A and B are shown apart, each in its own frame.
Chain A
Amino acid sequence: MAVIGRATTATALSTGCVTLYRPPGIVLSPLRTDFEMLNRLVSPFNSIVGQEPESIAGALNELRGFLMPRLEEQGLPMSGDFNQSHCLISNIGSPYSCSINPRYSENGRLDLSERKTIALLGFLGLRGFDPDLAASIFKSAVGRRGIRAYWTQIPEIRERYDVSPSEVAARSDHSPVEEHIGRSIKELDEEIIGIPPIFGLSQYQKKMGHLERDTGKRIFEVVTPLSLPGHRLQTALERVAAREGCRLLKGLTAIDMEFSGNHASSVTVRSRSREQRITFSKMILASGNLVSGGLVTNVDEPDQIVPPLQADTGRMPSTLSVSDTSLGSQALRSAMTTGIRTDADFHVVCKKGEVLDNVFVAGSALSGFSLPTGVGLGGVMFTSWIAAENAMEEG
């Protein structure tokens, strides 16, 4: 078993929140689990996977059961608001993370409906998080008053400006940065404190735990784009894969696939220095879409990067309430929903129409499975799980 990767993944650029259902808009109250809602939440998967809600529920539960302990072992504990009696919904965000968008705050740890006071603390010179802006968005989106914003300075970035969170993370692993942050937090009156993400995977759990213990407050990370939580999730997932016995080959681009009839035998990959051919018995293409580089733009429309395959434009999950206005125009909409063409079992379809019985497509490489269309990490992981199961079953 080997995984081939090219460069930074969309997962690493994401908020790192895995949501195994799609909440209808912003939900801040604890989840209600009536059946009508369950059907609505599961149906995006249902309509695409073509399976009954019960089996989807089972698969979701299996995926959760697989991921959570393994990620935790790698230092990335995932928490969530589960309802075991139905097992359909699991919202596993990391316990210390939430977004400047309140939608991500609902992870069981940070209940904004509590009458607790919240403060957001920004670090001068650190890119990507402005507590004033975040507090203001919180206020207008949640209608909750009294979220205050503060600024502090930490020694790691005192003499500089424009520091990226990963730079701080690189240094914070070897310095007492959390002591300084802890002192700043203690000076605040509020009970829940949001800070920008600055700890890498290896220190994340330990240092966030220290902060909570030392200050006696609840600390959470305000997830910002292109920052650490996505990186942490990516790293943790790679480690899980390695631990399960998978080889990780990075820096390789798949440029061609060899097949005859309905069966593919090998893929040609290119690194910076050479090309090589990798033979396989089964392959899953999880190469992402336009955002992550699995698709390229071919003048007017997206195209598949591996030549013999077909691009599939414009399959929109039917149940997602994506209005016309929000996705701009037909060109953007079809670019965003484009993926690799498959049959109902996720088998890949070639340009001339052959269905390859040993090549499967998963994740956002599937048409319609893109973050902007409302399918997040949970959705794409779920398809991977199904595709992998299909691959295993077909012996």
Chain B
Amino acid sequence: MPKTEVLIVGGGVTGAGIARDLALRGTSVMLLEKEDFSTGATGRSHGMLHSGGRYAVKDPESAMDCAREGVILKRIASYCIEDTGGLFIGIEDDDPTYVDRFLRGCAETGVQAKEITTKEALSLEPRLSSRVSSSVEVLDASIDPFALTLGNVEDARDCGAEILNYRVVQRFLVQEGRIQEVIFENLRNGSRESVRPEVVVNASGAWVDNVASLAGLRIPMSIDKGTLVVFNGRLVNRLINRLRMPSDGDIIVPSHSASIVGTTSDRVDSVEDFVVDRSDVDLLISEGQSMVPDLRHARAIRAYAGVRPLLGGRKEGRDISRTYRVIDHEEEGIDNLVSIVGGKLTTYRLMAEKTSDLIMCKLGSAGHCITASEPISNPMAAKTVRDLLAFPLIRMNRKYGDEQTDIIAGCTSSLRGKEILCTCEEVLRGEAEYFCSREDVMRLSDVMRRTRIGMGYCQAGLCIFDMASVMMEHSNQEPLDLIGHYLRERWKGVEPVLFGSQLRQEVFKRYLYDGVYHLESLLGGEAR
């Protein structure tokens, strides 16, 4: 039976970060993820690299962590970060005393912030409401959570870690107060496999309680659902936050070809509750409009919801600290299980460092954390490309970091590699081919997370067939199954925003799918 020093359960950014951290310290690591990487809270976040400003008043501990980690991530993960800067803006009706509390909070927590005049703010962001009454500049940035997670995954692999997706942990065999063996199912072929770890890390985010229960333990968690709406195009240049206590619909993040408006906060009972309510979408649009009135005319292309795993059971969503905790379950009778709960995308590296420190203790190994200084991917290579080459390559660099060299080679080596599959996001066939040929990718949405194919305003209206055609070359799956699965997934995000231009887009897609391709009959009425 295979052995590993550390088994990590969960392939979000935290799990991937721990894998990279430990692998860089020379530890043998295996990671199991039940779906694709970053399909939980990681991929369903804003993609916001916090300066700490959002927590400066209410949650100083998180603010300090964010301030420090933001600087570190801009250094080590520059490929997937767009350093847009951020702006906190107060609107006429907002509490006028908040500005001072905010600035004081920032000063106390080490968050860089500078108040600017309304005129300056409007020159930086012409689409802002004319009712802006106060503005503070901060160092927020836009980060691609998929690219960040995959960068950690690839780096960990380069250091010998075994990182596996579509592996569902089913049982922990516990004997003498230790997890002796972990049994998991390989979703690719349905087989059951097992591994003997020395230490198990539960980094399963919102599912942390479910995984702990496999060892007979409970971790009281609060599951908080946040809804976000993606708008076509960039409505703002930098991240816009409302200068008030964090509330609904007060963040706008420019991200790739889109703007993401969020978020709501609702307590939910199930970690699988990703359903978006139309009322949440309406709330986000109306709140977002008070900061950027043009949002009313912007085209909402999809909505999504993520479940935040928050520490503690009693308080309601926004009152719960966004900080994290590393739990050693030794006191509860399981010597070799560690859980990491709570936290934020921005602080994932710190969480990984603290978790890894405890694990190294448990293993009795030496080895220091180097992730605060060791860049993910090679920034020199990225710099050369940026200096020398044209826009598509810069784009590829931002998506793929170090991997871009192989991907570009694939795109240019054949005639078909240069075909543009997704015109919304300018994704070449070679990019899709590169990822389809890899073990990680099983479904069309996996290709999407890696290349952004199908993420544009048409939501894979035309390229879905091209995606299926590329996938077929590397997989035995029926293309209609792939297409059906993907459409069902996408539909969840499109249905809540069926109005205006997107309604027309969807009607046009039905014209193609049902009227021309007859996918309805081919998929047995399950296209939607």
The residues of A with any CB-CB pair to B shorter than 8 Å are 10, 13-15, 25-26, 99-101, 103, 124-125, 127, 130, 132-133, 136-137, 140-141, 153, 161-162, 223, 225-226, 289-291, 297, 299-300, 302, 323, 325-329, 331-332, 335-336, 370-372, 374, 376
Contact = CB atoms under 8 A, between A and B. Distances in A.
B522 A130 contact: no
Contact of B522 (A13, A141, A370): A141
Nearest to A133: B469
B420 interface: yes
A130 B462 CA distance: 13
Contacts of B504: 290-291, 297, 335
Contacts of A26: 521
- Looking at B466, B495, B511, the one whose CB has the most chain A CB atoms below 10 A away is B511
Contacts of A336: 507, 510
B374 to A, nearest CB: 39
B162 interface: no
A130 B419 contact: no
Given A103-B521, A328-B491, A335 B507 contact: yes
B415 interface: yes
5 contacts: A132-B472, A291-B504, A300-B499, A331-B495, A335-B498
Contact of B503 (A153, A327, A335, A371): A335
A331 B503 CA distance: 8
Given A101-B522, A132-B473, A326-B514, 19 more contacts: A101-B516, A103-B521, A124-B415, A125-B419, A132-B469, A137-B522, A140-B479, A226-B462, A290-B503, A297-B503, A300-B499, A325-B526, A326-B520, A335-B506, A370-B515, A371-B511, A371-B514, A372-B507, A372-B514
A299 B491 CA distance: 20
Q: How large is the interface on B (under 10, 10 to 19, 20 to 34, 35 or more residues)?
A: 35 or more
A196 B511 CA distance: 20
Interface in B499-528: 499-501, 503-504, 506-508, 510-518, 520-522, 525-528
A100 B418 contact: no
Interface in B414-444: 415-416, 418-420
A13 B510 CA distance: 13
Nearest to A295: B504
B517 A133 contact: no
Contacts of A300: 499
B465 interface: yes
A153 B508 CA distance: 32
B456 to A, nearest CB: 17
Contacts of A302: 503
Given A325-B526, A325-B528, A326-B528, A290 B472 contact: no
Contacts of B420: 162
- Looking at B416, B469, B514, B515, the one whose CB has the most chain A CB atoms below 10 A away is B515
Contact of A136 (B416, B478, B512): B478
Q: Which 10 A-B pairs have the closest CB atoms?
A: A371-B515, A372-B510, A328-B528, A130-B469, A372-B514, A133-B469, A331-B498, A225-B516, A326-B520, A101-B518
Contacts of B498: 329, 331-332, 335
B138 interface: no
Nearest to B510: A372
- Looking at B415, B491, B513, the one whose CB has the most chain A CB atoms below 10 A away is B415
A110 B149 CA distance: 51
A243 to B, nearest CB: 28
B211 interface: no
Given A103-B518, A297-B499, A140 B478 contact: yes
Contacts of B520: 326
A100 to B, nearest CB: 7
A101 B514 CA distance: 11
A332 B465 contact: no
Contacts of A332: 495, 498, 503, 506-507, 510
B415 A161 contact: yes
Nearest to B468: A133
B465 A130 contact: yes
Given A103-B521, A161-B415, A297-B503, A370 B495 contact: no
Contacts of A125: 415-416, 419
B513 to A, nearest CB: 8
Contacts of B479: 133, 136-137, 140
Nearest to B514: A372
Nearest to B487: A328
A57 B520 CA distance: 28
B480 interface: yes
A147 to B, nearest CB: 14
Contacts of A370: 507, 511, 515
A100 B238 CA distance: 46
A248 B495 CA distance: 39
Interface string B403-419: 00000000000011011
